[in-house]
Structure 1
């Protein structure tokens, strides 16, 4: 694909170095990371044209997987094709992967000590507030006043809370439903323009299914497959992957317990780069260093392919109402799943008045002020240590 001309033609090493630095220092979640790329690459350095940036952002919103990683990979593709996309993906993910590796080793070695337990006692409560805030914010961004989208949200939230896991086929069903509605509306408008009073169309959709989760010991192939499904079938960015992972690694596979899973989400919060790097921590607990490698490759490989394969054709078809309709439905379902997962995790993590207070405080602070999740988690860890001393 021919990129739109940019004002500055940066050396490739400088372009790749930027994503290495962003992966090492970029806190704040996917929206913040996307904002950094827009500010630095489009406005300040002018290495990427506004058209290429907006195309990449639109594709990242349409495809499953983490938004920030998809956008970075797309910009790498624009700059230097497949090689550029590959190098940018590695540069963007590698720093947080190495940080999570170090934290995983520390967690396994010292996880039984009282001070480590006290840290994650407070951090786990703050994570509940952060997840709840994410669900609340997503409802304002994705649902609007649509009764259909609110119905999808409620059904997904209830089923996730009731079953304790994400039901994959319901996401596909939500996307198909909103696609049909978008197609029907488009056909009705077209019919009214040509033949007022007549607007009926019959539609059918081929069902889409996903394989069942594997069972048995966490062999590397099993670890890879579990996280490849997460990368391939989970829409929405950042915390949207949490309910899917909870259902797989806690409910189905039994690799982690509830406490360890909350700690895994917390690890992702206190490291820079994409939030889905939490899969590396989970993979380490399940199968050691090779397990975390299999998990990271599994979750990011579909993301990579979903960007570089359709990139040359995306501009031609991105405005199709059917595509927009599908993404709208899946986004509403993802929002409901996050809300349901927040409830499930809260019943495990909020065990006393201290944890309840910290979760509420985290939610209120994020709602009222622009505060980095990193500062919240650091404060919650400190409170956890103090409460641990008080209770001890």
Structure 2
């Protein structure tokens, strides 16, 4: 990759993802929308075509959606070094914050105040991601009738099933290709890489850190969809199968992920810390993110090489439309779980209204205000 192709430096890219990883709340829907708004629409660093290719690859590969998209966007102009630095810059801020919260959680035997803060922030986040998804949908689908049909089907299926349906996303790509182009693949485009299997999966050991590494490698390598999709998998393992955490500890782990910026999947660091301290947090984070890094970087050259083929572009467009539909469906799922009473609904609707009326309002102010409202509602009502 030649840096001369870019209108920005690699340092600019790292600074952007450090900022997004430090201040980006709202989980996958909000983060994916923010990258589109900032890098495609406002700065013009990334083309719409490259963004669509990135989100399509992130949907096709297992692992957390937002982290994979950041890695791919780093790859676009700066290759492997850009992908590596962008991914690290995006993940590290939230990792450090989660480590600090993990230490405090252990020292003070839980967070009685956390649920109050999470109540307010969680409601505001619904408004933030709803606005982000609305803008992303208008930009991605536009006036494409077929796109709106595929979007609606994906959104409805995700909302009803409460999880992203990978087969539907792939089917959307196929349908879009069939309708939009009559070209057939003549080049035998393949995935270009062998399935990623860590040799460690076959190593018998009773070490707790090895058990953590194996479990979280599976989480990173075999769970598809956004970071939210990993939560049921983690629950089944750390609570039900291994008994590493209690039900309440696991709920607190998810809350920590939601009240900290950056990728939701960073909750693995909190879980690792509770199980095996600082080494456990590091092992859990590396084991989860390494597969998604490899699954993004290894096929990236093939996406870049064949991405402009009309047939490939049609498939990518179809997958992208379905992916945005799945994000919209995820907003509905999150809203059902988070907006449990009138005050929560008022916070969410108020946040949405403010974002709609005040174009450049910082989301950080909304998050801080919602946290304060949550505390006041808990302790003074």
| Equivalence map 1:12-51=2 (5 Å) | 15=10, 18=12, 21-26=15-20, 27-28=23-24, 29-33=31-35
1:247 aligns with 2:236: no
Structure 1: stretches of 5+ with no match in the other structure: 44-49, 161-165, 192-208, 235-239
Q: Tell me which of 176, 182, 190 is aligned to 2:177.
A: 182
| Equivalence map 1:153-168=2 (5 Å) | 153-160=155-162, 166=163
Partners of 2:2 and 2:366 in 1: CA distance? 43
Query: What does residue 94 of structure 2 align with?
Result: 96
TM-aligned CA distance change 1:323 to 1:221, over 3 Å: same
Cα pair 1:126 1:376 within 8 Å, conserved: yes
TM-aligned CA distance change 1:305 to 1:19, over 3 Å: same
Partners of 1:252 and 1:342 in 2: CA distance? 25
| Equivalence map 1:169-318=2 (5 Å) | 170-187=165-182, 219-230=212-223, 233-234=224-225, 240-242=226-228, 244-250=229-235, 254=239, 259-260=251-252, 263-269=255-261, 277-281=266-270, 283-284=272-273, 288-318=277-307
Cα pair 2:155 2:329 within 8 Å, conserved: no
Distance apart, 1:177 and its partner CA:
4.1
Cα pair 2:220 2:291 within 8 Å, conserved: no
- How many residue pairs get matched? 334
TM-aligned CA distance change 1:100 to 1:352, over 3 Å: same
Cα pair 1:280 1:295 within 8 Å, conserved: yes
Q: TM-score, normalised by structure 1?
A: 0.67
Partners of 2:303 and 2:263 in 1: CA distance? 24
User: 1:63 aligns to what SS in structure 2?
Assistant: helix
TM-aligned CA distance change 1:178 to 1:310, over 3 Å: closer
Partners of 1:33 and 1:177 in 2: CA distance? 23
TM-aligned CA distance change 1:384 to 1:89, over 3 Å: closer
Cα pair 1:74 1:307 within 8 Å, conserved: no
Distance apart, 1:344 and its partner CA:
4.1
TM-aligned CA distance change 1:379 to 1:339, over 3 Å: same
Distance apart, 1:95 and its partner CA:
3.2
Cα pair 2:213 2:283 within 8 Å, conserved: yes
TM-aligned CA distance change 1:285 to 1:19, over 3 Å: farther
Partners of 2:334 and 2:70 in 1: CA distance? 25
Cα pair 1:75 1:85 within 8 Å, conserved: no
Distance apart, 1:60 and its partner CA:
2.0
Task: Give the alignment's Cα RMSD to 1 decimal.
Answer: 4.2
Distance apart, 1:19 and its partner CA:
5.2
Query: What does residue 69 of structure 1 align with?
Result: 71
Cα pair 2:33 2:132 within 8 Å, conserved: no
Query: What does residue 198 of structure 1 align with?
Result: none
Q: TM-score, normalised by structure 2?
A: 0.69
Distance apart, 1:104 and its partner CA:
3.0
1:373 aligns with 2:363: yes
Partners of 1:31 and 1:348 in 2: CA distance? 21
